[in-house]
Structure 1
C-alpha cells in the first residue's frame, strides 16, 4: 500500500472492551484500571483529531458465527442485545466508530482496512483485551494490511500474562511493532 499524505492519521483501536471478556476473574481485577487507561487514550485521540474505532465481538445464536472452539464446547457468547455484548460500564464511547467482529482479529471478515483508509489512518494504536488473543491477532493482521501498528502496553489486559508477554515480544521482534508506554501512546494520539 502506498501511503498518501491523507493517510497520516493515527487511529486508536479499542478492542473488546465489553462485559463478556471481563467475566474472567483475572480480567475483572484489571477492568477499572484498563478502562481508565483506554479512556485516556480515547480522549487523547479525540483531542488530536484522530479516529477511534470501538471493536466488539458479537456472535449469533444460530451458531453461524461461532468459532471452532465454540462449536467444540457447544457454547456461544456475546449475543446481540445481551449484557455480554455491551461495552463495559464507564467506557468513553463518545465519537467512536463501532465495528463488530466474530474472530480474534478485527480485520477478519470485516471492512476495517477500508474504514481505516477512508478515515485517512496509516498508523494504529491498539488497546483493550485480551493481549494474547484479540489484540495480538489484530496487530498481526494490521501488519499484513500494511498498517504501522503499535500496542499501548498499559492499556491492554490479559488473563494469561506469560502468553501476553510472549506475544508482545513477538509483535516487537517479528512485526516491528512498537510497544508503547501510556505517556508515549497518549502523545502519539494527540499528535
Structure 2
C-alpha cells in the first residue's frame, strides 16, 4: 500500500478504553476523568483533521487467543461480543478507526501498521490503559517500527503505579518518547500538519 503523502503525519492512538479494564478498583476510580480527557483529545484530533485509532482487546472463549499467563491462570476476559469487550460507552468513537488485538502490543498480529501506513502516519500520540502494560508495549513496538511517539500523560492510567512510573521513565529516557501533560497533548494535536 502506498502512503498518502497528503495525509496528516500524526495520529491519536487510544488503547483499551474498554469496560474490562476499568473493573480494577484503581482504574474504576479514574474512569470518568480519564475518558473525559481522552474525549478532549479525540475532539482536538478531529478538529485538526488527524486520524483517531482506537485499539481494543478481544479474546475467544476457546482459549485460542489467550496469552501464556491467561492460560496458566485458566482465566480469559474481554470475550468477543460481551460487555467487557465493549468500549466504555461515553468514549467518543464516531469516525475512529477500530483495531482489535489479542496481546499487550497493539502491533502484534494486528492490522495497525497497515492502517497507519495507509494514512501516511509517522507520529503517534498514545493514551489509554494500562500504562505499564498495553500502553508501554505499544509505545515500544512503535519505536521498533520507527514511529515518533509521545505519551498523553494525563490520558493514561494504571493499576500499578510503581510499574507505570518506571515504564514512563524508560520510554522517556531510553526511547525519547516524551510524556506530555494534557495542555501539551492538545497543542500537539492542534499544531500544524507537517511531514516530519
TM-score bracket, shorter-length normalisation: over 0.9
Instruction: State the secondary structure of the residue aligned to 1:117.
Output: helix
TM-score, normalization: structure 2? 0.93
Whether the 8 Å CA contact 1:150–1:180 is kept in 2: the answer is: yes
Q: Which residue does the alignment assign to 2:43?
A: 43
Computed over aligned residues only, the root mean square deviation of the Cα atoms, in angstroms, reads 1.3
Q: How many residues end up aligned between the 2 structures?
A: 189
Instruction: State the secondary structure of the residue aligned to 2:108.
Output: coil
Superposed displacement of residue 169, structure 1: 0.5
State the alpha-carbon separation in 2 of the partners of residues 43 and 128 from structure 1: 16
Q: Which runs of 4+ in 1 moved over 6 A?
A: none
State the alpha-carbon separation in 1 of the partners of residues 17 and 8 from structure 2: 26
Superposed displacement of residue 5, structure 1: 5.0
**What do residues 123-145 of structure 1 show as CA deviations (whole Å, max 9, x unaligned)?**
00000100000000000000000
State the alpha-carbon separation in 2 of the partners of residues 121 and 185 from structure 1: 17
Instruction: State the secondary structure of the residue aligned to 2:128.
Output: strand
State the alpha-carbon separation in 1 of the partners of residues 140 and 134 from structure 2: 10
Unaligned runs of 5+ in 1: none
**What do residues 81-138 of structure 1 show as CA deviations (whole Å, max 9, x unaligned)?**
1000001121000110000000001001112111101111110000010000000000
**What do residues 144-185 of structure 1 show as CA deviations (whole Å, max 9, x unaligned)?**
000001100000010011110110000001111111111111
State the alpha-carbon separation in 1 of the partners of residues 74 and 155 from structure 2: 32
Unaligned runs of 5+ in 2: 192-196
Which is worse superposed, 149-158 or 5-14? Answer: 5-14
TM-score, normalization: structure 1? 0.96
